[in-house]
Structure 1
Amino acid sequence: MAPAPITPEYRLLAELEAAFDRLIERLEVLVSTHAQAPGATWAMDQEDAGADWLRRALLDFWYQDGQDGRATRSHVGLVAADEALMAGVREANAAKADFAALLRRIRADAADLIPELKAVLPFRHPALHDHLRGQGLARLHLKQCWRAVPLAEAPLARVRLAWYRSGRSIKRLTVREAQELLLDLDQEAPHVRIQQRQLAGIPDGEPLARVQDQAPLMRANLFYREPLPDGRGRRALNVALPLFVPSPDGRLPDHNIPPASPPASRTRALRSDARLESEPFLPSLRIYRYRDA
Structure 2
Amino acid sequence: MPAAARLDPKDYFTAEEWAPLARRSSWKGPAMIAHAWATIFAAGAMVVVWPFTLPLAVMIIGTRQLGLAILMHDAAHGALHKNLKVNDWLSEWLTGGGVHTYRPYHLTHHRFGQQSEDPDLSLSAPFPITRLSLRRKIVRDLTGQTFFKARFGRFVGKLKARKSGEPLLPILTVEFKRHRRWLAMGAIVTAVAAPFGLWWVWPVLWVLPQASWYPLVTRLRNIAEHACIAENEPDPMRQARTTKANLLERMLIAPYYVNYHCEHHMFMHVPCYSLPRAHRILARKGVTQRMLVEPGGYLKVLSLASSKPA
TM-score in terms of structure 2 length: 0.27
Structure of higher CA gyration radius = 1
In terms of fraction of residues, the more strand-rich structure is 1
In terms of fraction of residues, the more helix-rich structure is 2
TM-score in terms of structure 1 length: 0.28
